[in-house]
Amino acid sequence: MRAFKALLSMEFRSTFGWKPLTEYHNYKDWLKLAGAILVGLFVAADIGFLFVSSAISQYQALKPQGLEGLLLLNGAITASVAVFFLGFIMILSGFSLSPAEAQLFALPLTDRSQLASRFALVYLSQAAFGLFMFGINLTVFGIAEASPLGFWLVGILAAFALPLPPLALAWCLAVPLMSTARFMRSKNAVLVASGIIGVAFALAFNLYVQQSLQKLGDQAWLLANYAGPGTVLNLAGSAWPPSQLAWKALEAANGGAWAEGLMLAAALLAGGLVLSALAVVLLAGGWRRAVLAFGEARLHRLGKADAIAYIDGHFRRHGAFRALVLREWRLMNREPRFFVNGPFIIVLLPFILAVTYVAQRSALGELVSMLGGAQGERYGFLAAAGFGAFLGSSTSVASTGLSRDAKALPAILGLPIGAFEYMLAKLVHAFIWATAGALVGSVAIGIFARLAPLVIVGAAAVALGLSALVNLAGLWLDTAHPRLGWDNPMAALKQNPNSVYVILGSMALIVLLCWSVISFALEPRIFALLFISASILIFAVGIAAYARFAIMKIRDIEAR
Amino acid sequence: MFKLEGIAKTYGGSGKKAVDSLDLEIRKGEIFGFLGPNGAGKTTTIRILTGVLRPDAGRVTLDGIDLEREPLRAKARFGAVPDDPELWNRLKAREYLDFMGDVYGVPTKERRERIAELAARFALAEVLGSSIGSFSRGMKQKLCVIGSLLHEPANWILDEPMVGLDPQASFDLKALMRKRADAGGSVFFSTHVLEVAERICDRIGVIAGGRLLFAGSIEELRSLRAATRNGAAIAGGDGAGKAPAAAEGTDASLESLFLELVEGGPS
């Protein structure tokens, strides 16, 4: 047990970077903790508001039909589904730590205790989401129904038990997958798979919540989805007995039969624990094999004759600057952690907006049609230019350019490359994505709102101009204050304050842009012309000044 | 040929000198081994020598070219193998070598010839199309060696080059170092492996606490040790030194000489 506790503590520290309060020695540590708690509370309150609103709406819609108890079943199913997907993603991501984890097999610990500690880690992390989702429905129902104390006790027990079965199932799928599918044994594959599942889950959830909120007032829809044996909710409940068990336990406790409720909840907990223990016992061997096999190098070897032909066919001289730009492109866009948190926004954001539009077509359709008319041309132009400018400015390519290269600096600075050429290659790379973002954003909105072609061209030009300036400013910021001391690449990109400042700054500039067009009642075409001219001028002055700054700054960098 | 004159470096905020008043000359046609315990200042010296770090004081010249004044010309005169080869995992081996070739402006024909020769020597020819991320540490190290030699530099600087290499590759690398020195080039490398330094170096430098304790041949170090045993002051070799604490003959291994010099032992 002592070894298990030590393992669990180590897993927590290495996964979340947490440390006990006794290790907080200075005010910075406490400040960071306070900041993390504040952000956590803010996020919980924000998401909680959505869930509470949804639960109250569901309750109010179901109550007149006498179906209010289904709120509990809905909460149990939603929590189980969320815990399953989030848990599955966390289990898959855990395999990325395999090289370090494999060293633990040399310690006198059983495979089962090691897997049990990982299971517990995933449970403790993901159960929080389950508790949150299920707890809200439970609380809304309990308060509205003035439920007795037994209901609350059974609810707490059920809330802790509910995440166990979906997590056991997630492990039962993940371990065989990782031990049999060779293509999954790399960090890239795990990142891509986790990313796709995560995005798909988030979008599906978004669609579900938005559609539900819209249609709760529709009695026919409500009856088709909530009431009766053939409805979606009942089918889902039947397919996943733990959620039905939790529902029955709570219904019983709410009706005064709290002993029956308690027994059902205890059965749920016992079942969950048995399933979890079975998963650990049966999967420990396979999990060990999967961890050891993870990251196996698969070299693509040529024959001797082919190798000579390969050298003659593939190596040829190009310019040094092209080599620098290609290096930037490959090192960022082939690293999923960088790509997903950087340029991928150009794909993701339009996709999210499209899903939102589909979900709320009736509310948004009218607004979009207004943008295309002669009256709304200016607003359509602004929407297209603003969205394009935001996509072109938010890729974080320039604002993290030097930080991302921190580890490579000692090797790069020893090469005969000018400091400005080196940084300019980063800017060119950023511009490639900025152009893509500006065009995707402005053209997509332009076509969607049926703007005139010339207006779309003007919007794209404005988006490009603004993106160019923001990217230059971002690179300047990261040159002045690079984040060079990091172990996790995410610290260079996602957790890099420069990236946040630039995204917020670009938002402020877009607001300013909209304000100036509306306040001065400028024609879109004239405004585009003026804006582009000003952008070119500012950019020319800016790049000349930046060149001097970059040379001085790179020369003084202490690459260790 | 490299020359370091009066080099000093203190990292910002630390207050402690990582390198202090370092004078060193690596001549044409020699292999110079740079030895020292962990944190002695070896990597800092190499980073100053390769233009990665700017010294607080002093001057570095490569073949007479001042590194501070003409950094690009000076950097084109050497090839460097870094201590950490884990930097380019997202590139394919071919892409890395083409990058190095483009940066140094190596023409296509020469590039192909050198890659064919060096990749065959280090057994990498058949995996040039593979991702560097799939390489072992030793293979990455070999790739860095090939990349550093694509432009046929007159000077070669290697930071802990033997780490991770298999015996055959280690042998090949030492042979290559010898070959380049015999052809009139200068080879400067840092190492912890004293046997390697003893076997292939024409001269060695010993650094500890940022100060150069000794620079000269191993024979000179042995003579100095013997002289100290007889009570003479140490002023030999190329640099200043401190008195070895013990002396038991003139045929001591480099390991015992190194320990005496750096730590005042074995006693």
More confidently predicted of A290 and B238: A290
Q: Is A314 on the interface with B (CB under 8 A)?
A: yes
The pLDDT value recorded for residue A65 is 79
More confidently predicted of A367 and B65: B65
The pLDDT value recorded for residue B260 is 78
Q: Residue window 111-130, chain B: list those with CB within 8 Å of chain A.
A: 111-112, 115-116, 119, 125-130
User: What would the mean pLDDT of B119-148 be, rounded to a whole number?
Assistant: 92
| Of A353, A70, A364, nearest in space to A207 by CA | A353
- Eight-state DSSP code of residue A25: -
Token reading at A58: 């569901």
The pLDDT value recorded for residue A296 is 65
Q: Is B135 on the interface with A (CB under 8 A)?
A: yes
| Of A334, A466, A468, nearest in space to A398 by CA | A468
**Mean pLDDT rounded to a whole number for chain A:** 86
Those residues whose C-beta lies under 8 Å from the C-beta of residue A245, and which sit 6 or more positions away, are A264, A265, A267, A268, A271
A430 within 8 A of A384, measured Cβ to Cβ:
no
More confidently predicted of A30 and A369: A30
User: What would the mean pLDDT of B204-209 be, rounded to a whole number?
Assistant: 92
Q: What's the CA gap between B97 and A236, in Å, rounded? A: 56
Whether residue A110 is predicted with pLDDT greater than 70 in this model: the reply is yes
Q: Is B154 on the interface with A (CB under 8 A)?
A: no
Lowest mean pLDDT across A199-208, A365-374, B39-48 = A365-374
Evaluated on CA atoms A90, A96, A100, A104, the torsion sign reads positive
User: What would the mean pLDDT of A182-210 be, rounded to a whole number?
Assistant: 80
A455 within 8 A of A381, measured Cβ to Cβ:
yes
Instruction: Write out the DSSP string of B228-255.
Output: HHTTPPP--SSS-----S----S---HH
The pLDDT value recorded for residue A348 is 87
A493 within 8 A of A396, measured Cβ to Cβ:
yes
| Of A197, A200, A141, A156, nearest in space to A174 by CA | A197
Q: What's the CA gap between B106 and B128, in Å, rounded? A: 18
User: What would the mean pLDDT of A237-244 be, rounded to a whole number?
Assistant: 84
Token reading at A21: 């309060």
The four Cα atoms B139, B145, B147, B153 give a dihedral, to 10 degrees, of -170
- Mark yes or no for CB contact A409/B52 under 8 Å: yes
Whether residue A95 is predicted with pLDDT greater than 70 in this model: the reply is yes
Instruction: Classify A145 as helix, strand or coil.
Output: coil
Find residue B8's DSSP bridge partners: B57
Whether residue A350 is predicted with pLDDT greater than 80 in this model: the reply is yes
Instruction: Write out the DSSP string of A123-138.
Output: HHHHHHHHHHHHHHHH
The pLDDT value recorded for residue A203 is 80
pLDDT confidence band for A230 (50 / 70 / 90) = low
Whether residue A239 is predicted with pLDDT greater than 90 in this model: the reply is no
Half-sphere exposure of B77 (CA within 13 A, CB side): 23
User: What would the mean pLDDT of B28-51 be, rounded to a whole number?
Assistant: 92
The pLDDT value recorded for residue A449 is 84
Q: Is A312 on the interface with B (CB under 8 A)?
A: yes
User: What would the mean pLDDT of A388-409 be, rounded to a whole number?
Assistant: 94
The pLDDT value recorded for residue A179 is 85
Whether residue A488 is predicted with pLDDT greater than 70 in this model: the reply is yes
B162-195: pLDDT as tens digits: 888 889 999 999 999 999 999 999 999 998 888 8
The pLDDT value recorded for residue B264 is 63
Whether residue B240 is predicted with pLDDT greater than 60 in this model: the reply is no
Chain B residue numbers touching A299 (CB-CB < 8 A) = 127, 130, 134-135
Measuring CA to CA, how many Å separate A112 from each of A2, A91, A143, A280? 14, 16, 42, 6
Q: What's the CA gap between B212 and B189, in Å, rounded? A: 15
The pLDDT value recorded for residue B176 is 94
Q: What's the CA gap between A149 and A254, in Å, rounded? A: 9
Chain B residue numbers touching A414 (CB-CB < 8 A) = 47, 50-52, 75, 80, 82
Q: What's the CA gap between A281 and A439, in Å, rounded? A: 54
**pTM of model > 0.90:** no
| Of A528, A548, A417, A527, nearest in space to A480 by CA | A548
Burial class (CB in 10 A: 0-12, 13-18, 19+), A31: exposed
A contact test, residue of B43, B121, B131, B132 with most A CBs within 10 A:
B131
B91 within 8 A of B132, measured Cβ to Cβ:
yes
Whether residue A469 is predicted with pLDDT greater than 50 in this model: the reply is yes
Question: How would you classify the pairing of strands B17-26 and B2-10?
Answer: antiparallel
The pLDDT value recorded for residue B239 is 47
pLDDT confidence band for B242 (50 / 70 / 90) = very low
pLDDT confidence band for B140 (50 / 70 / 90) = very high
φ and ψ at residue B215, rounded to 5 degrees: -145, 125
ipTM higher than the 0.95 cut: no
More confidently predicted of A340 and B2: B2
Q: Residue window 387-416, chain A: list those with CB within 8 Å of chain B.
A: 407-411, 413-416
pLDDT confidence band for A549 (50 / 70 / 90) = very high
Token reading at B213: 């304790």
Instruction: Write out the DSSP string of A414-452.
Output: TSS--HHHHHHHHHHHHHHHHHHHHHHHHHHHHHHTT--
A122-158: pLDDT as tens digits: 998 888 888 888 999 999 999 999 999 999 999 999 9
Q: Is A25 on the interface with B (CB under 8 A)?
A: no
- The helix (run of H) or strand (run of E) holding residue B176 is helix B167-182
φ and ψ at residue B85, rounded to 5 degrees: -85, 5
Report the chain B residue with the minimal C-alpha distance to residue A305. Answer: B126
Measuring CA to CA, how many Å separate A462 from each of A350, A505, A512? 19, 16, 13
The pLDDT value recorded for residue A216 is 65
Q: Is A489 on the interface with B (CB under 8 A)?
A: no
A290 within 8 A of A177, measured Cβ to Cβ:
no
A337 within 8 A of A191, measured Cβ to Cβ:
yes
Those residues whose C-beta lies under 8 Å from the C-beta of residue B42, and which sit 6 or more positions away, are B34, B35, B36, B159, B190, B207
**Mean pLDDT rounded to a whole number for chain B:** 86
Q: Is B98 on the interface with A (CB under 8 A)?
A: yes
Q: Angle A147-A148-A153 (CA atoms, 0-180°, nearest 5)?
A: 105
More confidently predicted of A37 and A98: A37
The pLDDT value recorded for residue A386 is 94
More confidently predicted of A402 and B134: A402
Q: Find the CB nearest A302 among B75, B112, B129.
A: B129
- The helix (run of H) or strand (run of E) holding residue A253 is helix A241-254
Whether residue A310 is predicted with pLDDT greater than 80 in this model: the reply is yes
More confidently predicted of A464 and B198: A464
**Location of structure tokens 């009766």:** A228
Measuring CA to CA, how many Å separate A57 from each of A60, A204, A207, A216? 5, 20, 17, 7
The pLDDT value recorded for residue A320 is 95
Instruction: Classify B189 as helix, strand or coil.
Output: strand
The pLDDT value recorded for residue B265 is 46
B58 within 8 A of B8, measured Cβ to Cβ:
yes
The pLDDT value recorded for residue A373 is 63
Q: Find the CB nearest B97 among A312, A315, A319.
A: A315
pLDDT confidence band for B139 (50 / 70 / 90) = very high
A429 within 8 A of A325, measured Cβ to Cβ:
yes
Share of chain A above pLDDT 90, in %: 45
| Of B58, B83, B42, nearest in space to B212 by CA | B42
